[in-house]
Amino acid sequence: MKKFAIIVLALLIALSSTALAKNVTVTGKGMTPTEAENDALRAAVENTLGVLVDSETLVQNSMLISDQIYTQSRGFVNEYRVISREEVNGTWLVTINATVDDQPNSKLMNELTRLGIINVQLRNPKIAVYVPEQHLNYNIGGSGGETAIVKTLINAGFNFVTEVGTGLNYQSPMSMNVAQMKAAAEKFGVDIMIVGESFSEGVGDMGNYLPGNQRTNMQACRARVEAKMFIVRTGQVIAADGKYGSAYDNSEAIAAKKALTSAGEQMGNYFVEQITGMYTSRQGVEVVVYGADFSKINLVQSALGRISRVKNFNLSSYENGRAVFTVMYGGSPQTLFNEIQAQTPADLTLQSLTYNTLTISVR
């Protein structure tokens, strides 16, 4: 019950933090009410950029951001309401409550990507996984759940994943606070820190759960993996969950490992969806395909139809050997390229990746 409460609390913190990151109350100054209101809109966008972009990048690109982002602040604000207007010693002060669209496919995020302020690193972040385990009956050693999470992340296309193992020493990782997770992330030089705990226990002969209650000499085990994800860039815990697994084997130790692996794979898939949901378009991925003729491009189109995580897609345009597809996909552009490649015998070349665009050529 205590562990469930921790998970619920982490989720509530994540939800509230996300809401606060988008909705801000700021005050602008100006010689006229209109100037002060525009200054307030700029302050709202500036506040949001402080969450999305690290301070060093903001300083390095200050002129570019000022010219290309702040001058267009009104276009990045979904809605706002004026809370107060007042004139003080000849200067107007306008306070607004504004909602800035910081979603992955928003105009703001696309513009930051176009300018190179947010780059490819966001699509393939460095991740450390720390999920120690214990078997409730005896010590079996190893880290089945943690390893399964790491493998799932790697299989999804994340290339920079570190399995912490004994690199940290916390008795209860799920109780680690933000400062501790930030310190751990900095130790391993990562963008995302996944921490948690895993447990397994033997539940007796598998025959106990079959009709007739006959002994099979096969030992059944069940396991649970709980974990949460900390984003270093924002300083927020943005996801937490727990997954169950079960397995059997003639060895209880092997059955426990199988059960932990099952729960770990589910946990890994959960985090893949969370990460790709943050760093890829929720509306769609644009796939640009170059081919000598349409028969080559059709090979890619056919491959898209065979990928399970592609919800739907359509050909937006085709001209002079260049086709553009809009693809609804539950993953990163890099992973989509890997899946397209696996679904066609054609010779594909990855030309470029941007925040929500994949460009490939086919021969």
Q: What is the pLDDT of residue 356?
A: 66
Q: Are 318 and 326 in contact (CB under 8 A)?
A: no
The domains of the chain are located at: 2-118, 127-278, 285-362
Half-sphere exposure of 353 (CA within 13 A, CB side): 19
Q: Is 36 helix (H, G, I), strand (E, B) or coil?
A: helix
Q: What is the pLDDT of residue 212?
A: 64
User: What is the Cα 80 distance to its own chain's centre?
Assistant: 28
Per the prediction, the chain carries an average pLDDT of 82
* pTM for the whole structure: 0.52
Q: How far apart are CA 252 and CA 216, in angstroms?
A: 13
Q: At what angle do helices 333-342 and 294-305 cross, to 10 degrees?
A: 100
Amino acid at 165: G
Q: How far apart are CA 133 and CA 196, in angstroms?
A: 9
Query: Which residues lie closer than 8 Å to 40 by C-beta, 6 or more apart?
Result: 26, 27, 28, 80, 94, 95, 96, 98
Q: How far apart are CA 102 and CA 51, in angstroms?
A: 10
Q: How far apart are CA 266 and CA 272, in angstroms?
A: 10
Q: What is the pLDDT of residues 294-313, one digit of tens each?
A: 999 999 999 999 998 788 89
Q: Are 131 and 196 in contact (CB under 8 A)?
A: yes
Q: CATH for 2-118?
A: 3.30.1660.40
Which residue ranges in the chain fall short of pLDDT 50? 1-21, 120-121, 280-283
Q: What is the pLDDT of residues 86-121, one digit of tens each?
A: 999 999 999 999 998 776 557 787 788 777 776 544
Q: How far apart are CA 133 and CA 346, in angstroms?
A: 44
- Whether CATH 1.10.510.10 fits 127-278: no
